Structures are given as structure tokens and as C-alpha cells.
Amino acid sequence: MSATSSVVDRLRAHIGTPGPPISAVVEAGHLKRFTEAIGDSYPRWLTEAPPTFLVALAPVSAHLPEAEEYGQGWLNGGNRFEYLEPVKVGDTITAIGKVVDVYEKTGASGSLLFIIFETEYFNGHGRLVARLRGTAIRR
Amino acid sequence: MNLQPGEELPDLIKHPTTRQLAQYAGAQGDFYEIHYDQDFARGVGLPGVILHGLLKAAFLGQLVTDWLGERGTLKSFEVSYRGVDVPGKPYRCRGRVSSVTGLHAELEIWGEDPDGNRTTVGTAVVEMAVGLRPTL
């Protein structure tokens, strides 16, 4: 078995196992820094999270040290955002993420490792407010 | 208001700078060096520091919410990053309505570099507010 295939196997062992919950409060100052950074001055975002803010509260992807044995760097392949309820200043959000798939693709320019993450975000009432997906690529 | 398939969203043109990448790294909490350290970025085979994929997603989210305003809600959106983009070049976000079903509309959204390459492509679903349905 090659070194890279054993990395894939070890990563696949994480599939479906939820990581530890991460909780954070949506703070007005953080929202302001975030909307300034993306350059979006829509007034509603003074009190409500703009579409991609949840990634700043808790990342979609978990840190998987063994993935760094593969290739030389990370790329983001894509993201999906699904919204069920608005997220507002003062809300305590709890994020629970997991790996949903791991696979390797070999193309003309070499091999790539794909890790698909899915994170669910819950508000203080325990209601699901958003579901995010991320495709992390090692190259 | 009456959405029609084919309707184009007003373009959103962003002018990302290295300063903005550092600002975004701090605001998101993503300190991967390819977004602010030129030598590190070149060392992993990139042309230099590149935009965060999630910053481009934020631009495309703004494209949709600027156009939608208070007329409805963004229900979902997804994007694929097909190419890298560097600061110092304008990033043009575009979109059009691809289908309308009842209160829901599906949009095609994408981001272009100055050569017209679609380096980010995706779709979004919006739900229009009931009170704003067109009256006949």
C-alpha cells in the first residue's frame, strides 16, 4: 500500500463522526469587521449575519493533521450554504461538523485529495439555522 | 415585481487588494499563508497571494442580496472555485435568473477575472416575500 493511499484510508475513518461542538456568540463588532472586510455595507448586516458570516464564527472544515501528509498545499474547491433561519447579533450559535466524504482523483497534472465537510449550525433554541458544505483539496 | 427567467442581476465589481486579503483573513480567522505571504504562496506553486475562495463566495452572496434587497430571502447558494484570482485585478460578479417556480427563483451566478474567465461558478435559490407578489 502506498503512503498516499494510507492517508486516504486514515482520513476515510473520520467519515460520519461528528467533531466537538463549537459555540460562539454573534457579536456586533465581529459582524462589522467581517462586513468591512468583504466590502458589503448593506445596513441589514449591522444586526444580521450576511450570507457567508457563519464561516467566521466556526469553520466549515476541521483541522485534520494527517491530510497535510498529502501534497504540498490546500485549495478550496467549493462551498454550499443552506439557510433555515436568520442569524442575528446576540445569538449563541453552536456548530457541529463532520467529514462526509474523502476521495482521491488523478488527472494529467497529478493527484488531488478531496475532503468534503458538512457543518450544521444551531441557535440557542436548538434549532438548525444553517447547513454548510466545503470541499477542501490537497494538491 | 415580476421575476422572469433571463433577467440579469446588476453586476457587482470588486477591487480586491492585498490589504483586503489581510483584513478578510483576520475577520474570518483563516490565516493560511497563501493569502498574505507572497513567498509562501509562490513556494506552493501559486502566482503569488490569492483571494480566499470564501471571499469570492462573500462577493457572490452580496451580488444576490444587493439585487434582492428586502423583496425576499436567500435560501441557499453554492459555488465552485475553478481558478485562482489575485489582488490588484477587478473581480466582476454576475448573475441571471434561470428559472422561476411560484415564489422561488433559481439564479445562475458567477465571478469573472478581467479576461472573462469564470473562476467561480454557482447557483442560488431565493424566495420572494408573499406580500410582494405581482398583482394582476
Full residue range of the structural domain in which residue A131 is found? 3-138
pLDDT at B1: 55
Given A42, A74, A79, which is nearest B78 (Cβ)? A79
Q: Is the pLDDT of residue A18 over 50?
A: yes
pLDDT at A63: 84
Chain A contact for B48 (CB, 8 A cutoff): no
Chain A contact for B83 (CB, 8 A cutoff): no
What ipTM does this complex have?
Answer: 0.94
Q: How many domains are there within chain A? A: 1
Predicted TM-score (pTM) of this structure? 0.94
User: Per-domain residue ranges for chain B?
Assistant: 12-16+51-132
- What is the mean predicted confidence (pLDDT) over B107-112? 98
CATH number of the domain residue A81 falls in = 3.10.129.10
Integer Cα distance of B87 and B90 in angstroms: 8
- What is the mean predicted confidence (pLDDT) over A89-117? 94
Q: Is the pLDDT of residue A107 over 90?
A: no
Question: What residues have CB less than 8 Å from A126, skipping those under 6 apart?
Answer: none
Q: What is the CATH number of domain B12-16+51-132?
A: 3.10.129.10
Q: What is the DSSP secondary structure assignment for residue A116, as one 8-state letter?
A: E
Which ranges constitute the DSSP H helices of B1-131? Answer: 18-28, 38-43, 53-68
Question: Which one of A31, A79, A128 makes the best mutation probe of the B interface by having the most chain B beta carbons within 10 Å?
Answer: A79
> Taking CB atoms and an 8 Å cutoff, what residues of chain A touch B64?
51
